[in-house]
């Protein structure tokens, strides 16, 4: 058991936006001129999350044994020269403080543009204290599913993540796996994936995430969820999401940590897939004010429907 003060310090939440479980996101703020203009459009009795009493949050930390950290947008912004990315100020020190606190830590990422090994090597070069067996990522989870269900994938993924699928039978595909393929999201490649799916009696589409966009050093970029939705629409099917916000993905990370959902906190920059996904799994969660965070980029209708589902 950790003292509340020590745990708060380990979380490094001075720049974080704190969220209680099942707290509804207030949506687009009237006037778009800051929180002052937005208060009038919040549901009755709902305080702005940035004004939550620290004492209330500290009380909710009792019994917490582990943290799940998103990576892109929380620890670093990807992109830049040679795709190396840039650490977010304070993030390297925050990871060191969390590890020094004795809390269990898992890096829970939807990164699908590199193998876990290459991804960890990049983060280490940036200065982060991280090793491969601390990372939960979608591609290895997808490979386990493919083997268990004897699925043979047509891959629409980034070239750098292909080594994760070595040893997987890809002959005569009976499913499609889509990840953040970046420049591989050409018309031809999307159409090839469509043709595989539409030609199957029981089409299976596995998606290594569901995000709409993410942030790189030169701005926001479309994420895998956009292309997943295109294939869903074209083939009139529903994808099986392997990464966040799937419960199975979060539960896998918790199992690897050896703790229960109520003993963990998820920290991310995506209110739906990081925070909402963790809450659906029974965890507490908070959103940082970095990465894709914005007061105005989320529609309250989508968030309320997600929480109610």
Count Cβ atoms below 10 Å from residue 223 Cβ, excluding itself.
Answer: 21
pLDDT at 298 over 80: no
pLDDT tens-place string over residues 4-25: 444 444 444 433 333 333 333 3
Residue 278: closest CA among 7, 66, 11, 3? 66
pLDDT at 81 over 70: no
Of the chain, the percentage scoring pLDDT greater than 90 comes to 65
Q: Could you give the domains of the chain?
A: 64-110+245-299 (3.40.50.1000), 139-241 (3.40.50.1000)
242 vs 7: which has the higher pLDDT: 242
Strand order in 104-108's β-sheet? 16-18, 284-288, 264-268, 66-69, 104-108, 135-136
**What are the DSSP calls for 143-164, one per residue?**
HHHHHHTT--EEEES-GGGGGG
Mean pLDDT of 223-234: 97
**What are the DSSP calls for 25-78, one per residue?**
P--SPGGGS-HHHHGGGSPTTPPPGGG--HHHHHHHTTT--EEEE--BTTTEEB
Alpha carbons 10 and 13: distance in angstroms, whole number = 8
pLDDT at 85 over 90: no
- Residue holding tokens 């980029």? 297
- Contact between 237 and 203 under an 8 Å Cβ cutoff? The reply is yes
Mean pLDDT of 124-152: 96
pLDDT number for residue 217: 83
Q: Which of 48-57, 169-178, 217-226 has the highest mean pLDDT?
A: 169-178
In the DSSP assignment, the letter for residue 23 is P
pLDDT number for residue 27: 36
């Amino acid at each position: 058991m950790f003292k509340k003060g020590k745990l708060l310090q380990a979380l490094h939440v001075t720049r974080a936006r704190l969220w209680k479980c099942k707290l509804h996101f207030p949506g687009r703020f009237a006037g778009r001129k800051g929180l002052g203009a937005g208060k009038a459009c919040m549901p009755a009795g709902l305080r702005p999350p940035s004004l939550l009493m620290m004492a209330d949050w500290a009380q909710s930390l009792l019994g917490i044994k582990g943290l799940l950290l998103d990576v892109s947008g929380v620890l670093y912004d990807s992109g830049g020269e040679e795709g190396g990315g840039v650490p977010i100020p304070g993030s390297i020190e925050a990871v060191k403080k969390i590890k020094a606190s004795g809390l269990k830590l898992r890096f829970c990422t939807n990164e699908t543009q590199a193998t876990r090994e290459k991804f960890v090597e990049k983060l280490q070069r940036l200065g982060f204290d991280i090793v491969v067996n601390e990372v939960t990522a979608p591609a290895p989870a997808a490979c386990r599913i493919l083997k268990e269900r004897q699925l043979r994938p047509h891959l629409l993924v980034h070239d750098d993540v292909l080594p994760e699928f070595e040893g997987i039978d890809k002959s005569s595909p009976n499913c499609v796996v889509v990840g953040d393929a970046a420049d591989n999201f050409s018309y031809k490649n999307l159409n090839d994936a469509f043709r595989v799916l539409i030609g199957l009696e029981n089409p299976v589409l596995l998606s290594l995430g569901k995000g709409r966009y993410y942030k790189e050093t030169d701005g926001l970029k479309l994420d895998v969820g956009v292309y997943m939705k295109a294939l869903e629409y074209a083939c009139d099917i529903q994808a099986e999401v392997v990464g966040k916000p799937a419960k199975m993905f979060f539960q896998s990370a918790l199992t690897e940590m050896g703790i229960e959902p109520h003993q963990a906190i998820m920290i991310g920059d995506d209110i739906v897939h990081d925070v909402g996904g963790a809450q659906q799994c029974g965890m507490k969660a908070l959103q940082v004010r970095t990465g894709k965070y914005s007061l105005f980029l989320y529609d309250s209708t989508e968030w309320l429907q997600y929480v109610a589902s």
